[in-house]
Amino acid sequence: MENKKLTVGRYFLNHVKKYKLITFIMFFSTSIGICVNNAIAPYIYKELIDHLTDLKNMELAQELIKNKLLFLLLVYLLGEVFFRFAGLTAGIMQTKIIKNITDDCYARVNHYSYDFFVNTFSGSLVAKIKRTFRAFERLADIITWDFFTNILRLSFSSVILFSIDPIFSVILIIWTTIFIISKIIFYRWKMKYDLKEAELDSKLTGDLADGLTNFLNIKLFSRFDFENKKVAKTTKEKSKIQILNWNLDTLVSNLTTGILMIIVEILLMGFGFKFYTEGKISIGEVVLIQSLLAGILNNIWHFGYIIKDFYRSISDAQEMIDIFNQPQKILDKKKYEKCKIKKGLIQFKNVSFAYKKNYVFENLNFTINPGEKIGIVGESGAGKSTLTKLLLRFVDIQSGKILIDNQDISQINQNDLRKNISFVPQEPVLFHRSLFDNIHYGDLTANKNAVYKAARDAQAHQFIINSSKKYDTFVGERGIKLSGGEKQRVAIARAMLKNAPILILDEATSSLDSKAETLIQKALEKLMKNRTTLVIAHRLSTLTKLDRILVFENGKIVENGSHQELIQKSGKYQKLWNLQSNEFKK
């Protein structure tokens, strides 16, 4: 990230700088086209009219008209060639930069911490990314085909008007300055309402995505009316701000523009007719003034909308830039150590961690030896899930050290750390891709046979080959087409393929029936072999064959031992075991 606070302009300019040559060619070609069409062509018309009014010989007049019109045709064709060339270069430049912006936004957002994604709607993030690259496209068009071309037109017109009489040029320059300043002041003031509209648009996108993603809950709880009202409330707020923005444009901006245009037209044409009657200018020059004025007023009227679109585009991109300006909570060291994780020795040394000011762990100490299988037990809120977040470095500790193979995990690259840890969550989320692609995600370098073997070891192969398109079957958004057990087995196959030295299983068999659980336990025993394994489980029967069990309570380890050792003690584990055993008997 940039050291300075990022702005919309600076962010887009950084991308444009990568294409300096093609940008220069585009602006140069545009300049030639504007010069030809808006300066040379009107001047030819002026000379044509002046010559015609002085000529008595009609044959000579016809020859002059023929020559002038032929020259005018060549001038217009030249201008058209340069304009079209400018358009081609603009298309290439914008397409490449839009791709880069989209890639960059996606990459930047993906680098944010676990907490960022937990607290942010994915639907609104997608909307913000799309609005950002579309904002660039609009801004690029505005700057190239509106700001730049209008400045050139006004400059050429001012020069021509100055050659007729300086008073015309002075009136045009003063009027244009007043017009532009008034528009900038107005739309800068109005920008707060544009930002509010963009914010509500993101909220609406998030609400729609949230509702559509959770359609099953809506049906199960019969919450159609509730969800419809929720969306309707947001659309009502959005429509209110849209109406306000529309009214401000219509009643303030357009009214001001109309009045200013009437004033400049009366002034310029008034002086034109006055000077003509005084013999100071020719009829051709009067026509030239009128021609330039018509073009100027048409462009200026459009210019008001351009300024509005300019600030609206800035507003659309601002939300994404605000995200980029947020400090990332989990950062790698600028000079991080080379990852040396191989065996999987895990050590927590005086680790303290708090969510805000509420401490989950204080001076936590424990060691897990390479290849050791450890169960993590405790009631909800005891810190089991937080432990995995710390180990995966989704959050950073306040004090102490977490070491893997005697290497502080805060000193190595996050990607290198996570490459060495396989994690099977309680509720696995799959990509809306094929079953093969979801398993292959564990190791993108693996061949098909390795993927098939992982599926067999995870007891997933049979249901996969029974699917409509076998391994090419798409699983639906977040794996919705699969049962809970099927999703879990795909996630386990993915972890098997990853083949990392450390394995974390978070209720990995919770969604399986008894038969499937028996099969998968064999696969997990094979997977855990020669790997340091942490098994988080509420169902204590899944922990009986592990080397040790750590029992957590209020962020502290209150018991540590094998299953047989702990059930013989009158402690927390024994109470939990007896409770679950009694429930099972019932």
Domains of the chain and CATH, by start? 8-324 (1.20.1560.10), 346-585 (3.40.50.300)
Higher pLDDT, 581 or 115: 115
**H-type alpha helices, 362-483:** 384-391, 414-419, 435-440, 448-457, 461-465
pLDDT, average across residues 309-332? 84
For range 367-383, the mean pLDDT? 88
Amino acid identity for residue 376 in this structure: I
In this prediction, residue 216 carries a pLDDT of 57
CA distances (Å), 319 to each of 132, 293, 546, in order?
8, 40, 49
Task: Give the span between the Cα atoms of 300 and 263, in whole angstroms.
Answer: 13
Percent of the residues in the chain that have a pLDDT greater than 70, as a whole number: 90
Q: Which residue has the higher pLDDT, 418 or 66?
A: 418
Question: HSE-up of 97 (CA within 13 Å, CB side)?
Answer: 28
Burial 235-246 (b: 16+ CB within 10 A, else e): eebbeebeeebe
Query: How high is the pLDDT of residue 161?
Result: 78
Confidence grade of residue 365 (pLDDT, cut at 50, 70, 90): very high
Helix axes 149-164, 20-35, angle to 10 degrees: 30
Most confident of 57-71, 145-159, 385-399, 518-532: 385-399
Q: Which residue has the higher pLDDT, 312 or 132?
A: 132
Q: Over 90: is that where the pLDDT of 348 sits?
A: yes
What are the beta bridge partners of residue 366?
A: 348
What is the pLDDT at residue 304? 64
Quick one: pLDDT band at residue 1, thresholds 50, 70, 90? very low
pLDDT digits (tens, 9 = 90+) for 249-294: 776 767 777 787 788 878 888 887 888 787 787 777 777 777 777 7
Task: Please list, residue by residue across 12-36, b when 16 or more beta carbons sit within 10 angstroms of its beta carbon and e when fewer do.
Answer: beebbeebeeebebbbebbebbbbb
Q: What is the pTM of this model?
A: 0.70
Angstrom distance (rounded) from CA 65 to CA 13: 48
Q: What is the dihedral of CA 107, 113, 115, 119, to 10 degrees?
A: -20
Average pLDDT over the chain reads 82
The pLDDT tens digits of the residues spanning 38-92 come to: 777 777 777 777 666 665 555 666 667 777 778 878 888 888 888 888 888 888 8
Give the pLDDT of residue 346.
Answer: 93
Q: What is the pLDDT of residue 222?
A: 60
pLDDT band for 408, please (50, 70, 90 cuts): very high
How many Cβ atoms are within 10 Å of 445's Cβ, its own excluded?
Answer: 6
Q: Does 577 score more than 70 pLDDT?
A: yes
- Name the least confident of 214-223, 338-347, 529-538, 545-554: 214-223
What's the whole-number mean pLDDT along residues 441-446?
A: 88
pLDDT of residue 509: 67
Beta bridge partners of 532: 502
